[in-house]
C-alpha cells in the first residue's frame, strides 16, 4: 500500500471544475467529439437518460465520481445486449488509469459525475446472435476505446478512429466518451464483441492484465514502432521517458514504468526515467532504471528515443531538446490546443515527432505476447489492490496517497 502523498494534491471545487469547461483548451477538446456523427451521439445521450429514469429498468451498481475525490457505489441502469454483434461482460479486475485521479479530483475537462473505470479484464456473460468467436465464460481484455473492426480505419489498425461510433467513444469518461458507462460496475455492454474483445491467455493473472486495456498498450505504442530501428543503428541507444515534472500534478505516472519495461524487453540497455513524484523515482530505481531529477534537465541524456508524457507545452520543448539527431520523440498526450514548437532545431537535427492517441485494440495482442513470454511484468508497477466492495475507500486512498496503480478485484 502506498504512503501518504508528500505533496498533497487538492481537489478542484465544483464551481471551478465547471468553469474550466469554458477555457479555449476545453472547448477545443470537446469539439473533437462532435466533428462527425453528431446525431448518434445525441441519440446515445437521450437513450441513457431515458433508461436512467424509466421505471422497471433493471439496475446494477456502478462506481461514480462526483468530484473532490468523492466516489460511491450508486444504482445505475444495467446495460442490455447492445445488438446482435455485441456482448455483456462482468468485470473481474479493473485498474486505475493515470488519468483517474485528476478525473476524481475534478481536475480534467471531463464533466463530473462520471461512472469510473476503463481498464478491465472481464468474463463474458451474454453474446449476440451474430457473435462468432467470443463465447459465454471467456475471460477477455476489454479495450477502453470502442471500435467495429470492419471500417476502413479499423481494418488499417487505426481503431481509435473507428467510423462506426462517434469520435472518442470510450468507457469511463462520461459524457465526453459517449456515456458508455464504466468498468467499475457489475456489467458492461460491448457493442462489437468479436472485434473488440481479446481473450486472456492461460496463466496470465487478470489483476496483472487489466491495464492492458489502456495504459500498458499505450506504453507499447510509444516505443515499439521506433525502438527496433534505433537499436539496429546503435545497440547502446539511449531511451528517455519523461513524466510529470511538478510533484503536485494530479496525474499519476505508472505508464512511465511500463514504457521503460517495454523498452528493456525490446533490447534497450540505457533507459532513464524522469518524474516529479518521489514514489515514482523510487520504484523506477527498484526496477533497475536511472531515475533523474526533473529540476536538473541539463543532466538528462540526449536520447535516440524520447517519450514526452509531461502533458505540458514546456515539458514537450524540454524533451525535444534532449532528442538526438535522427531520433524520435513521442508525445503521449496533451490537453493543450497549442504548443510553441522548436521547429528549426527539430528540422536541423532531423527529429521525428509523433503526436496522437493510441490505437489500443491493435496493440493488445503484442503486449499480451510480452507478458506470456515473461518479458513484461506490469504488476511490478501496481502499488495498491482492493476488492470491488472496498473500491470507494481504495480510490480515495489512491487520490490522496503516493499510489501509482490501484487494481480492484470483483
**Does 4 have pLDDT greater than 60?**
no
Instruction: Give residue 33's pLDDT band: very low, low, confident or very high (50, 70, 90).
Output: low
Task: pLDDT band for 221, please (50, 70, 90 cuts).
Answer: very high
Find the mean pLDDT for residues 5-29.
69
Q: What is residue 164's three-state secondary structure?
A: coil
- Structure confidence at residue 23 (pLDDT): 76
Q: What is the mean pLDDT of residues 106-131?
A: 95
Q: What is the mean pLDDT of residues 205-212?
A: 98
DSSP 3-state percent helix, strand, coil across the chain (nearest 5): 35, 20, 45
What rounded mean pLDDT belongs to the chain?
92
**What is the model's pTM?**
0.91
Domains defined along the chain, listed by start = 14-211+378-409 (3.90.180.10), 217-355 (3.40.50.720)
Checking if the pLDDT of 219 tops 80, the result is yes
Looking only at Cα atoms, what is the longest distance across the chain? 66
Band of residue 9 on the pLDDT scale cut at 50, 70, 90: low
- Single out the residue of 130, 68, 139, 78 nearest to residue 104, CA to CA: 68
Looking at the chain, the whole-number percentage of residues with pLDDT higher than 90 is 76
More confident residue, 326 or 15: 326
Q: Tell me the mean pLDDT in the region 117-123.
A: 99
**Does residue 294 have a pLDDT over 80?**
yes
Residue 31 clears pLDDT 60, i.e. is over it: yes
Q: Which residues contact 243 (CB under 8 A, 6 or more apart)?
A: 253, 255, 256, 273, 274, 275, 276, 277, 280, 309, 310
Report the alpha-carbon distance of residue 128 to residue 81 in Å, rounded: 7
pLDDT confidence of residue 19:
73
Written as nine digits, the cell of 302 is: 540526449
- pLDDT at residue 93 in the model: 99
Tens-digit pLDDT profile for residues 69-87: 789 999 999 999 999 999 9
Task: Give the pLDDT confidence score for residue 52 in this predicted structure.
Answer: 74
Q: How far apart are CA 65 and CA 73, in angstroms?
A: 9
The answer to whether residue 1 scores a pLDDT higher than 70 is no
pLDDT of residue 11: 67
Q: What is the pLDDT of residue 46?
A: 79
Q: Give the Cα separation of 327 and 322 in Å (integer).
A: 10
Q: What is the pLDDT of residue 51?
A: 77
Cα–Cα dist 354/330, whole Å = 5
Give the whole-angstrom CA distance, residue 405 versus residue 360. Answer: 19
User: Stretch 258-266: mean pLDDT, rounded?
Assistant: 98
Lowest average pLDDT, out of 20-34, 137-151, 197-211, 343-357, goes to 20-34
Binning pLDDT at 50, 70 and 90, where does residue 7 land? low
Are 1 and 279 a contacting pair, CB within 8 Å?
Answer: no
Question: What contacts 120, CB < 8 A, 6 or more positions away?
Answer: 91, 93, 94, 95, 141, 142, 171, 183, 188, 210, 213
Q: What is the mean pLDDT of residues 165-189?
A: 94
The yes-or-no verdict on residue 230 having pLDDT over 70 is: yes
Instruction: Report the pLDDT value the prediction gives residue 71, as an integer from 0 to 100.
Output: 95
Per-residue pLDDT tens for 354-392?
999 999 999 999 999 999 999 999 999 999 999 999 999
Q: Which residue has the higher pLDDT, 158 or 347?
A: 158
In the predicted model, what is the mean pLDDT of residues 51-68? 84
Query: Can you say how many angstroms the Cα of residue 327 is from the centroid of all Cα atoms in its chain?
Result: 25
Amino acid at each position: 500500500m502506498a504512503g501518504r502523498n508528500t505533496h498533497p494534491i487538492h481537489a478542484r471545487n465544483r464551481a471551478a471544475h465547471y468553469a474550466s469547461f469554458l477555457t479555449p483548451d476545453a472547448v477545443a477538446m470537446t469539439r473533437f467529439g462532435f466533428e462527425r456523427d453528431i446525431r448518434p451521439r445525441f441519440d446515445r445521450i437521450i437513450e441513457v437518460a431515458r433508461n436512467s429514469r424509466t421505471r422497471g429498468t433493471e439496475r446494477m451498481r456502478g462506481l461514480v465520481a462526483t468530484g473532490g475525490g468523492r466516489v460511491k457505489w450508486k444504482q445505475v441502469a444495467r446495460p442490455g445486449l447492445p445488438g446482435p454483434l455485441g456482448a455483456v461482460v462482468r468485470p473481474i479486475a479493473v485498474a486505475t488509469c493515470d488519468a483517474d485521479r485528476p478525473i476524481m479530483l475534478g481536475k480534467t475537462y471531463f464533466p463530473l459525475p462520471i461512472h469510473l473505470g476503463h481498464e478491465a479484464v472481464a468474463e463474458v456473460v451474454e453474446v449476440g446472435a451474430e457473435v462468432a468467436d467470443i463465447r459465454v465464460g471467456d475471460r477477455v481484455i476489454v479495450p477502453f476505446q470502442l471500435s467495429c473492426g470492419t471500417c476502413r480505419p479499423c481494418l488499417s489498425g487505426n481503431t481509435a478512429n473507428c467510423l462506426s461510433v462517434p469520435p472518442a467513444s470510450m468507457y469511463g469518461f462520461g459524457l465526453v466518451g459517449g456515456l458508455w458507462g464504466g468498468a467499475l460496475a457489475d456489467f458492461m455492454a460491448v457493442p462489437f464483441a468479436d472485434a473488440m474483445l481479446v481473450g486472456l491467455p492461460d496463466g496470465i493473472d487478470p489483476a496483472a492484465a487489466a491495464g492492458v486495456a489502456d495504459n500498458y498498450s499505450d506504453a507499447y505504442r510509444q516505443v515499439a514502432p521506433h525502438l527496433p530501428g534505433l537499436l539496429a543503428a546503435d545497440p547502446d541507444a539511449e531511451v528517455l521517458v519523461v513524466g510529470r515534472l511538478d510533484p503536485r500534478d494530479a496525474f499519476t505516472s505508472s505508464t512511465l514504468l511500463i514504457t521503460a519495461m517495454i523498452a528493456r524487453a525490446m533490447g534497450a540497455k540505457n533507459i532513464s526515467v524522469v518524474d516529479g513524484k518521489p514514489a515514482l523515482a523510487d520504484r523506477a530505481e527498484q526496477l533497475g532504471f536511472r531515475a533523474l531529477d526533473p529540476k536538473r534537465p541539463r543532466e538528462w541524456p540526449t536520447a535516440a528515443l524520447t517519450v514526452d508524457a509531461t502533458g505540458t507545452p514546456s515539458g514537450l520543448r524540454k524533451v525535444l531538446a534532449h532528442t538526438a539527431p535522427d531520433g524520435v520523440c513521442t508525445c503521449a498526450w496533451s490537453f493543450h490546443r497549442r504548443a510553441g514548437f522548436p521547429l528549426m532545431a527539430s528540422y536541423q537535427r532531423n527529429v521525428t515527432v509523433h503526436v496522437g492517441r493510441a490505437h489500443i485494440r491493435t496493440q493488445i495482442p503484442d503486449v499480451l505476447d510480452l507478458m506470456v513470454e515473461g518479458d513484461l511484468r506490469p504488476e511490478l508497477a501496481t502499488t495498491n489492490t482492493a476488492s470491488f466492495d472496498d473500491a470507494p475507500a481504495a480510490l480515495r486512498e489512491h487520490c490522496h496517497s503516493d499510489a501509482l496503480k490501484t487494481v480492484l478485484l470483483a
